[in-house]
Structure 1
Amino acid sequence: MSEEVQKTSIKDQVDSVEVISSDSESTTEQEVLEPDVAELPKVVREIVPLEDDPTIQVVTIRYFILSVIFIIPGAFIDTMNSFRTTSAAYSIFFVQIASHWCGKWLARVLPNKQIKFGRFINFNLNPCPWSIKETILVTITASSGATGNLGTNAIALADLFYGEVVSAPKAIFFMWSIVFLGYSVTGFVRNFVMYEPKFTWPQALMQTTLFQTQRKSDEDGKQGSKQMKVFFIALLGLCAWQFFPEFIFPMTSSLAFLCWVAPENYVANFIGSGLGGMGFLNLTLDWSNITSNILLYPYWVQVIQFVAFVLGAWVLIPAVKWGNLSDFKYGLMSNSLFMSNGTKYPTAQLLNSDLSLNETRYAELGPVHLGAQRAYNIFFDYAAYVSGFCFVTLFGYKGIIEAGKKIIESRRKSHSINLQYTDRLNKLQSAYADVPSYYYLILFLCSFITILVILIKGFFAPWWTLFVATAFGVFVCILPLLILYATSGFQLPIGTFNEVIYAYIIQNQKSRHPAGALVYSSIAGDVFYRCQYQMLSLKIGFYNHLPPQTVFWAQIFGELLGVPTNYGALRWVLNTKRDLLTGEKTDPLHQWTAQSLVSYQSNAIQYVVLGPKKLFHHYPMLPYGFLIGVVAPVIVFALHKLFPKSKLKFHLWNTTIFFSTMSNFYGNVSTGYFSQFIGGTITMFWAYRYKHALWKKYNYLLAAALDTGLNLSILLIFLFFSAGKTVTFPEWWGNNGKSIERCFAMG
């Protein structure tokens, strides 16, 4: 480590990709920093430990025990939540806290005893004191396995809408393979975004904050103990509060002030309702509608999202309903498909027994109509997808080229790429062996061949589409969208675009199963999403100085446990909530609606059964979304080049985030967005700028605590009131049976 000290003023603004990182950070005071520390962004220096002890043992039998305990409930809850309208993912912060406690307890009670089974299995039950690194590895394993799986979408769609049940072995092996296919692609892109200090990975910083707070608390640090007290106060407080919006006092989940003023006036109700209306000036006290994004996303991201929400929900929706923006007035707040008279389209009648389109019946029924909101959602979906590539290419090409040069240089010198970087963290990480490239190659081949065999034997999609999905995901999607995620924490949904690609490549096939689009999308999507998840875990390991190979195997182990649990949760939801998911019964909280699955079904009919030609013939403006996605970033880039020092900060006008937010569907729940903007202004603008010391100490910690409290409350409510006999709370003023918002004219 260098002993040289230099005096420098640090300006933590991304140079080559400043447009997609965060607000420019600069310090007015002079800081005395070592050169290798000065290369790190300010937020990283404030959070990430800059020393390491590589001798700490990470993998123990305690790790395996706790991983199993925390993965199974998480995988179940995450899959279950995918059928709800709003929810928060299984809190990985709960795993961080609970596993740390449990690990220290196991370290106290387990004997220091060597165990042998045969010639090859030999381990110590309690080889060393519990360390924060062991906690981190348990958490990384859980973040891999205790998640949902894209493969459940196709399986659920085929079951719920077409009565086709996929066998457990086929489903589980397919779900494993698409995940590992995505993991294997990490070997291709990690060198571009893993080691570059200017890619801060906000999600990784949030988790690192809690890890280091736990470490300080273990070391009897006064500050660490105080932070942990704040964490648990916030956790328990939010957990107790969530019983009100979720069960006792649902009105607090959507405070529709206009409905209180005129509870029987339809116009006022529609404008003010957050559950089926515009959500104008609607507030929520339900953390599941707010989420930790207000404590995580940079403020410029939150401003873009709020502007897009205002335009999408408060401008376009009334322009359609009461103006001339669309001639089709039916189904404005619905993601279903309609006939010209506004009745729901009998999509089942469009299919022959061999799943081909019944052209005669289609001619009798007429063209499929979309609700106007759903139509412009699709338009902006297309724009967001194309914008993602254009924006990163225009603003981040210098960084990509520089990373490429470092990769080439590391290959020439036959050493790890992190040796090409001179910052402190890369120097520390060079003590550990990197994951060999052939690990990823073997994982890729095994996953690819397994999926290929499953598709050949019959799984809704033609076998050759696997080649297209993989190639498109690897060579087109990953790098630009991964850079966006690494710098802003914003993950771009790419499902709709994948379904369009699938529709075009199979349009000449006679038999086209609607679930095939989701099979294709899950393959291409997981090449992207799972790559992101693994990269995030690798970055967490990087920030906390874990061996990369250990992190790699921990993620594999997590998925081996998580996928069978995903399938079990899927079967439970379909068996117990089917009447709510199909709409035979109405959920008063608008939660068990399978809103995402209904959208998938609508997309499948549009793209697979009818084909994109019929859709674009009836909606000729939709393809122009692709054009807008190209033109908008070019305009922003030109403005940035013309006015580089403008106070308008054109480089932060991220069109991808704007278009993606515009593509959000607000049909069931439009509450929360106004509250998010208010909360984000307080946390990421006011507190960050004017109370930075307090923000640095508690911001990410509170994000972790509140998310943990939310998920704990949802789990407790499920166990107390839904696991066995369903218990409903008595009706009262704050839990009105007709409308919990008291928007009675909405029906």
Structure 2
Amino acid sequence: MPSESSVDVKDRGGQDDHKDGPTVEAHTTDSESGKGADEMRKPGEIDELPPMIRPCSATVSRSNVLPVVFTDFTSAVRAWILMTTFVMLFSGVNQFFGLRYPSLTIGYVVAQLLVFPIGRAWEKLPRWRVPLGKLSFDINPGKFTVKEHAFICVNISASTPYTTFLKSHTPILTFFSFGLAGLARRWIVYPAALIWPTSLSSTVLFRALHEPEERSPANGWTITRYRFFIYFTIFGFVLFWFPDYIWTSLSTFAFITWIVPHNQVVNTLFGMNSGLGLLPISLDWTEINYAGFPLTTPFYITCNAFATIVIFYFFLSPILYYTNVWNSAYLPLLSSNTFDNTGQSYNITKVVDANLNFVESKYQAYSPMYISLGYALTYGLGFAAVTAVIVHTYLYNGREIWAKFKNSRAGGEDIHRRLMHAYNDVPDWWYGILTVIVLGLGVLTVRYWDTELPVWGFLVVCFGMGVVLILPEGILQGTTNQRVFLNIITELIAGYAYPGSAIANTMVKCYGYNSIKHAMDFAQDLKMGQYMKIPPRALFAGQIYASIIATMTQTGVLRWMMGHISRLCDPKNPNRFTCNGSKVMYNASIIWGTIGPQRMFQQGQVYNGLMYFFLIGPVVTVIVYFLYRRYPNSWLKYVNVPIFFNAAGNIPPATTTQYSLWFIVGFIFNFWIRRRAFHWWKRYNYLLQAAMDTGTALATILIFFALSYTGTKLSWWGNNVGSNTYDSQSVPYLKVSDGGHFGPGPGEFK
């Protein structure tokens, strides 16, 4: 291992120039050369960044440089004990809330804030060495450093898997993603322009916690960050009792529907459950937080997302709905359910045999499958997003990707990457061997268990999609902190490859989509490791270990929930453990697997028009690209087409109300307060998000185990007023006559 002296001292010197760490408002010129950000870009460097982030891309290296110090105890026993404890805690809590609606995720920032005081307290313990020969270790290795802190927290992020909806989170899926991320790091981790905004903001907090805190007033506020966090954690804890237990109608305060509970149009427009929620009012932090983190998402991203909601859901969907396009008026406007031609839930048992195989004759005698208009629009926008992100990546980053493919150092390296050369890197073949082993285990799984997925399907479809889509997805998320919901394209391909098989479709969705999603999570962690100068091999071992611990914990928590929570996944579950995410996955497996896309989207089928969105995505991307090239200083510089089309990917189970709340709170904090009180925003904004998340989580756990689990209910007008509205009952605009149906009847469709 090279010594610290081998690192370029001039590069490390940048640490003294920007002691406050990076922010979105980083300097737009280089502190040493005075050159503008655009002048500093080198050929072959990925330079497509959002306008609000682009100014800091050239100087982020010099504004947040940590030195390489080999005496930092990044992999001491203390670090592994704390990591194990918090991985189990966070993975268990997130699994518990994952089946609740609205769900709540305890995020990265909360881990940073909770680990810090424990680590500082640990360093005060007596120095005691456990004598085990070559395996001897210190219980207290010394000062709790920022790098040890980062090492622990980076590995905690393995605690939120996508596949918790499927009852278990298998290490095969995780390590498959880990291998892909490692092999693709030269394109999605190393480039300086891919700043991974979440990692960047976390770096700010790490340095704020470990460096002397600035005492100057921030727009009149002098309270320390930790006191701020504690006070607002208490505030969030107390506040959540009202919408979750004391006055539950405050969660979706659709008072207009209370006044006219049986007016379908009013309930569809102003309802906040199955309606559009045009007057969104809520004190429920889980509702505000569900569509996205309002305080940590850059406002231009929020605007791109909300523009989609306004155009397609607030404006277009009522027109289509009340003109009965696709027979949608016989169904609720927003719903995650699937329906038959009588408006009832689709009875899948009527179209399959005893082995769950699709039977054409039974299908012909029953009904086509219908979905709500909101659900259909989400699929169309998802089609556009998939093709848009591929074209967007080619137009903006094609040359840079090819240059990096030929030479991983093409375009130069930023200071973080250069400093990391002081450590022994993880060679590509480590990730390659891990990927090959996982592929072998995956082949054994689909070969010897009844998954209905052939081996070639696993290798070609699942692994192939991961290889093809990891770069577009990585570049998009690395620059904008947003990702495309690629589950739609995996479901579509699986639907044509394995017609009539819901299980095979679900397997492809999990292997194919999960490989990309978790690869993004691991890439983000690798970027954080680069920012914080964590030894790559220690991080490699930590991520594998944390993934295994998280898997075991989540499986145990889920099994406990299945055995101890009554009516789990029931739509009327009194504690809101309705498993909406699982319901969406189930319905998707029926749509794309059992029924198949050929009976939903092909020529002559009800939703065939949605297939044109595959063309709309790249066409709009090309148009915006050339308009932006022609007018680079116009508002078009804030438009990101993949994000625009992808924004509604959470609908369902999310509602337009939750997107509206996300936008309103984001506007207040990330636009209005950011402009009027920037110093307050810089010091406290991210902490407020973490404090509200923590307080809400603590309140939810206490309410459930102290009151709900024991059957203690509070029944009064404020908790019952919204239960009798057309909005809460998902009443459609048109009714099917007794014994009748809408659309083609039995034998009249294919």
Which residue in 2 is equivalent to 1:735? 719
Conservation of the 8 A alpha-carbon contact between 1:263 and 1:744: no
Q: In structure 1, the residue corresponding to 2:131 is in which secondary structure?
A: strand
Partner Cα separation in structure 2 for residue 14 and residue 245 of structure 1? 51
Which residue in 2 is equivalent to 1:694? 680
Which residue in 1 is equivalent to 2:482? 490
Q: In structure 2, the residue corresponding to 1:726 is in which secondary structure?
A: coil
Counterparts in 2 of 1:564 and 1:25: CA distance versus 1, 3 Å: closer
What pairs up with 1:388-407 in 2 under 5 angstroms?
A: 388-404=389-405, 406-407=407-408
> For 1:257-276, what per-residue CA distance to the aligned partner results, in whole angstroms no more than 9, with x for missing partners?
43355455443233211122
Conservation of the 8 A alpha-carbon contact between 2:485 and 2:646: yes
- The offset of 1:305, in angstroms, is 0.8
User: Is 1:147 the equivalent of 2:128?
Assistant: no
Partner Cα separation in structure 1 for residue 728 and residue 432 of structure 2? 59
Counterparts in 2 of 1:13 and 1:480: CA distance versus 1, 3 Å: farther
TM-score, normalising length: structure 1: 0.85
Which residue in 2 is equivalent to 1:468? 460
Conservation of the 8 A alpha-carbon contact between 1:461 and 1:520: no
Which residue in 2 is equivalent to 1:201? 196
User: Is 1:425 the equivalent of 2:413?
Assistant: no
Which residue in 2 is equivalent to 1:716? 702
Which residue in 2 is equivalent to 1:726? 711
- The offset of 1:11, in angstroms, is 4.2
> For 1:583-605, what per-residue CA distance to the aligned partner results, in whole angstroms no more than 9, with x for missing partners?
4xx1467x333222222222222
User: Is 1:180 the equivalent of 2:175?
Assistant: yes
Counterparts in 2 of 1:353 and 1:739: CA distance versus 1, 3 Å: closer
Partner Cα separation in structure 2 for residue 703 and residue 215 of structure 1? 20
- The offset of 1:485, in angstroms, is 0.6
Whichever residue aligns with residue 635 of structure 2, its letter is L
> For 1:164-201, what per-residue CA distance to the aligned partner results, in whole angstroms no more than 9, with x for missing partners?
xxxxxxx66xx111110100112221111222222221
Whichever residue aligns with residue 69 of structure 1, its letter is T
Structure 1 ranges of 4+ moved more than 6 A:
12-16, 218-225, 740-747
Whichever residue aligns with residue 373 of structure 1, its letter is G
Among candidates 607, 612, 628, match of residue 592 of structure 2: 607
Conservation of the 8 A alpha-carbon contact between 1:58 and 1:137: yes
- The offset of 1:489, in angstroms, is 0.7
Q: In structure 1, the residue corresponding to 2:723 is in which secondary structure?
A: coil
Partner Cα separation in structure 2 for residue 288 and residue 13 of structure 1? 44
What pairs up with 1:12-23 in 2 under 5 angstroms?
A: 20-23=49-52
- The offset of 1:364, in angstroms, is 0.9
Q: Identify the range of structure 1 (687-696 vs 268-277) with the bigger mean alpha-carbon deviation.
A: 687-696
> For 1:251-310, what per-residue CA distance to the aligned partner results, in whole angstroms no more than 9, with x for missing partners?
222222433554554432332111221111212222222237222222221111111112
- The offset of 1:705, in angstroms, is 2.6
> For 1:22-61, what per-residue CA distance to the aligned partner results, in whole angstroms no more than 9, with x for missing partners?
42666xxxxxxxxxxx97446x765x34445332121122
Structure 1: give runs of 5+ residues left out of the alignment: 27-37, 157-170, 410-419
CA RMSD of aligned residues (A): 3.0
Among candidates 50, 53, 72, match of residue 56 of structure 1: 72
Counterparts in 2 of 1:14 and 1:385: CA distance versus 1, 3 Å: farther
Conservation of the 8 A alpha-carbon contact between 1:216 and 1:225: no
Partner Cα separation in structure 2 for residue 61 and residue 744 of structure 1? 52
Conservation of the 8 A alpha-carbon contact between 1:22 and 1:487: no
Among candidates 142, 147, 151, match of residue 137 of structure 1: 151
Which residue in 1 is equivalent to 2:106? 90
Among candidates 521, 530, 533, match of residue 533 of structure 1: 521
Which residue in 2 is equivalent to 1:241? 239
Q: In structure 1, the residue corresponding to 2:211 is in which secondary structure?
A: helix
Q: Identify the range of structure 1 (212-221 vs 694-703) with the bigger mean alpha-carbon deviation.
A: 212-221
Counterparts in 2 of 1:634 and 1:253: CA distance versus 1, 3 Å: same
Partner Cα separation in structure 1 for residue 54 and residue 659 of structure 2? 27
User: Is 1:350 the equivalent of 2:351?
Assistant: yes
Structure 2: give runs of 5+ residues left out of the alignment: 1-8, 15-30, 732-750
Whichever residue aligns with residue 304 of structure 2, its letter is I
Partner Cα separation in structure 1 for residue 92 and residue 495 of structure 2? 32
Q: In structure 2, the residue corresponding to 1:621 is in which secondary structure?
A: helix
Which residue in 1 is equivalent to 2:544? 556
* Percent of aligned pairs sharing the same letter: 24
Conservation of the 8 A alpha-carbon contact between 1:379 and 1:663: no
Which residue in 2 is equivalent to 1:442? 433
Partner Cα separation in structure 2 for residue 140 and residue 207 of structure 1? 10
User: Is 1:594 the equivalent of 2:556?
Assistant: no
> For 1:352-404, what per-residue CA distance to the aligned partner results, in whole angstroms no more than 9, with x for missing partners?
12332122211110322222222222111111111111112212224424434
Counterparts in 2 of 1:222 and 1:344: CA distance versus 1, 3 Å: closer
Among candidates 632, 641, 644, match of residue 655 of structure 1: 641
Whichever residue aligns with residue 235 of structure 1, its letter is T
Whichever residue aligns with residue 695 of structure 2, its letter is G
Whichever residue aligns with residue 52 of structure 2, its letter is D
Which residue in 1 is equivalent to 2:507? 519
Counterparts in 2 of 1:324 and 1:199: CA distance versus 1, 3 Å: same
Counterparts in 2 of 1:326 and 1:578: CA distance versus 1, 3 Å: farther
Conservation of the 8 A alpha-carbon contact between 1:13 and 1:22: no
> For 1:611-665, what per-residue CA distance to the aligned partner results, in whole angstroms no more than 9, with x for missing partners?
22112242221322211222121111122233233x222x432221121123442
Partner Cα separation in structure 1 for residue 648 and residue 413 of structure 2? 41
Partner Cα separation in structure 1 for residue 356 and residue 261 of structure 2? 47
TM-score, normalising length: structure 2: 0.85
Conservation of the 8 A alpha-carbon contact between 1:351 and 1:358: yes
Conservation of the 8 A alpha-carbon contact between 2:68 and 2:533: yes
Partner Cα separation in structure 2 for residue 644 and residue 627 of structure 1? 25
Counterparts in 2 of 1:504 and 1:271: CA distance versus 1, 3 Å: same
Conservation of the 8 A alpha-carbon contact between 2:99 and 2:165: no
Counterparts in 2 of 1:431 and 1:712: CA distance versus 1, 3 Å: farther
